[in-house]
């Protein structure tokens, strides 16, 4: 009897149709193992979400760290969160769409501003937001950022204007208009001491020595690739890996290399982004976080979440319990933690490798193998074994913690239909000889055999490989 390795993907590739897929990783990602390990990679469950604070507010819109506190925008409100998880409602910040924040270098207290769909506001860590007065002659801004003590604001007509140095006053002459291509501006981002002005078809880059008169920065170059929607860029965030990544106007994900856009997305990612953009480009939102040395860039849309791991340069998917996408929305490094808003609740959640649920909800790790086939022959599969890290159950009254299980199912028609899952124990604490095996699983179709492995129980979970016994049949 021949034993053949089961091939598992290192990057999720569902394909345009199930029959064209090359494996999937949902709430699972890979990490390369060292020489002599049982396998070249470990496929591990994605980091879970633990509650850091309850804001009592729905609809996260963005975050800003200021000294030792975090300002969190939610639907129609601004909330202050402190390091002990205490949340205080500061007052009305009207709107339900995402917010951009900026602060300058004024001492001892910086000026804080935000731009919402209802215009700009002045913020404080102690009092309610108040409208920011913009002089007549300047357009209503649609985003803001900060650099070198200046507050920068963009507008839909293509203008970008700056405040005075470390103030919230304005001179109408401190303005530039990005004229590389028409279409206006969607977003301003400060990155590596330069100002990136994102339009729908071009990015203008400004920098150099700050000028005392007129617009503070000079135009350096233009990048011939736009931004698909205002929230589809991330990587400039404080505490992350200093790599700017965005979804271009062509639904391709780009990483900035020098001043050139470098494509990093796959066709699967691009199809999902194009479909979401056709409905509402503003529903595409990017965020970032770091976990155990892995830098993750996340792009969510209503029907899917894709995650790019800069460390391995691979893609995987995320989906929360009973949801099509990941519940994390917006992100920020605060209090030495990576925090995300909760699109399904009122929690401010911490991304943690040692959390095996999402705020108490199941976090299902799903791995689908590449098809094993000998086209056009069919194969009999009398046995299959899966090399999990076992014995990870813990002492608990909860059976899902004490006696964790893996569910094994398979498809013989390219993933169009799946067998009923078979439950196999992953082993109680210390049971290192537990085996995850299935017997007498029948004949494959001409499209071969695809395996699906699910683990939802809240314990550490890692898959190192698998093998199946095969017997070739010609009938």
Give the model's confidence band at 213: pLDDT under 50 very low, under 70 low, under 90 confident, else very high. confident
Nearest Cα neighbor of 342 from 366, 358, 322 is 358
Q: Token pair of 68, please?
A: 């030792």
Extended beta strands in 124-264, E state: 130-131, 143-147, 150-154, 159-163, 170-177, 187-191, 194-198, 203-207, 218-223, 233-234, 245-247, 253-257, 260-263
Cα separation of 9 and 452, whole Å? 12
pLDDT at 37: 81
pLDDT at 306: 98
Mean pLDDT rounded to a whole number for the chain:
94
More confident residue, 374 or 127: 127
Torsional sign, CA 303, 307, 313, 315: negative
pLDDT at 13: 95
Residue 226, CA distances (Å) to 139, 155, 281, 297 in order: 21, 15, 13, 19
The owner of tokens 């490798």 is 353
Provide the residue count of the chain: 475
Q: What end-to-end distance do the CA atoms of the chain give, in Å? A: 18
Cβ-in-10-Å burial (0-12, 13-18, 19+) of 283 comes to middle
Q: DSSP 3-state assignment of 153? A: strand
pLDDT at 474: 59
Cα separation of 15 and 18, whole Å? 6
Residue 80, CA distances (Å) to 71, 97, 258, 377, 411 in order: 5, 19, 37, 64, 50
Report pLDDT digits (tens) over 370-404: 988 666 677 889 999 999 999 999 999 999 999 99
Residue 387's DSSP bridge partners are: 465
pLDDT at 218: 95
Say if residue 262's pLDDT is above 80. yes
- Give the DSSP H or E segment for 455: strand 450-455
Query: Taking a C-beta distance cutoff of 8 angstroms, is the pair 100, 64 a contact?
Result: no
Q: Token pair of 84, please?
A: 């002990």
- Give the DSSP H or E segment for 28: strand 28-32
Torsional sign, CA 318, 320, 326, 332: negative
pTM: 0.96
Domains of the chain in start order, with CATH, are 2-46+365-473 (2.60.120.260), 48-60+247-362 (no CATH), 99-230 (2.130.10.10)
Query: Taking a C-beta distance cutoff of 8 angstroms, is the pair 340, 287 a contact?
Result: yes
- Give the DSSP H or E segment for 92: strand 87-92
Q: Which residues of 120-130 are buried (b: 16+ CB within 10 A; e: fewer)?
A: bbebbbeeebe
Cα separation of 124 and 196, whole Å? 26
Report pLDDT digits (tens) over 21-64: 889 999 999 999 987 788 789 999 999 999 999 999 999 999 99
Torsional sign, CA 238, 244, 247, 249: positive
Query: Taking a C-beta distance cutoff of 8 angstroms, is the pair 59, 74 a contact?
Result: yes
Give the model's confidence band at 450: pLDDT under 50 very low, under 70 low, under 90 confident, else very high. very high
pLDDT at 1: 62
């Amino acid at each position: 009897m021949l034993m053949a390795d089961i091939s598992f993907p290192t990057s999720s590739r569902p394909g345009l149709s199930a029959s064209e897929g090359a494996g999937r990783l949902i709430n699972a990602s890979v990490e390369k193992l060292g020489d002599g390990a049982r396998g070249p990679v470990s496929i591990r469950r994605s980091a879970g979400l633990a509650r850091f604070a309850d804001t009592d507010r729905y609809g996260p819109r963005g975050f800003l760290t200021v000294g030792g506190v975090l300002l969190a925008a939610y639907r129609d409100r601004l909330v202050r969160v402190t390091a002990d998880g205490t949340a205080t409602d500061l007052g009305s910040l009207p709107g339900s769409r995402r917010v951009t924040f900026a602060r300058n270098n004024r001492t001892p207290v910086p000026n804080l501003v935000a731009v919402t769909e209802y215009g700009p506001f002045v913020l404080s860590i102690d009092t309610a937001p108040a409208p920011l007065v913009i002089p007549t002659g300047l357009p209503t801004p649609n985003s803001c950022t900060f650099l070198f003590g200046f507050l920068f604001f963009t507008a839909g007509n293509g203008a970008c204007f700056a405040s005075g140095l470390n103030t919230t006053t304005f001179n109408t002459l401190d303005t530039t208009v990005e004229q590389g291509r028409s279409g206006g501006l969607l977003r301003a981002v400060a990155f590596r001491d330069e100002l990136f002005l994102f339009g729908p078809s071009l990015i203008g880059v400004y920098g150099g020595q700050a000028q005392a008169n007129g617009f503070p920065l000079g135009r350096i170059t233009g990048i011939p690739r736009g931004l698909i929607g205002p929230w589809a860029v991330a990587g400039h965030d404080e505490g992350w890996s200093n790599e700017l990544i965005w979804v271009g106007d062509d639904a391709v994900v780009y990483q900035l290399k020098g001043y050139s856009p470098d494509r990093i997305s796959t066709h699967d990612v691009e199809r999902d982004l194009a479909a979401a953009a056709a409905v509402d480009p503003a529903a595409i939102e990017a965020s970032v976080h770091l976990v155990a040395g892995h830098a993750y860039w996340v792009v969510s849309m209503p029907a899917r979440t894709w995650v790019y791991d800069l460390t391995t340069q691979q893609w995987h998917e995320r989906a929360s319990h009973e949801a099509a996408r990941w519940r994390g929305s917006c992100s920020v490094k605060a209090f030495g933690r990576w925090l995300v808003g909760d699109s399904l609740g009122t929690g401010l959640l911490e991304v943690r490798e040692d959390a095996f649920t999402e705020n108490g909800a199941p976090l299902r790790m799903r791995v689908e193998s590449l098809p094993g086939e000998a086209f056009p022959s069919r194969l009999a599969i009398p046995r299959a074994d899966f090399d999990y890290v076992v014995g990870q159950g813990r002492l608990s009254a909860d059976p899902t913690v004490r006696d964790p299980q893996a569910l094994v199912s398979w498809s013989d028609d390219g993933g169009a239909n799946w067998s009923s899952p078979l439950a196999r124990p992953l082993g109680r604490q210390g049971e290192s000889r537990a085996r995850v095996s299935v017997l007498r699983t029948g004949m494959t179709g001409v499209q071969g055999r695809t395996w699906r492995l699910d683990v939802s129980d809240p314990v550490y979970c890692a898959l190192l490989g698998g093998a199946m016994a095969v017997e070739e049949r010609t009938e």
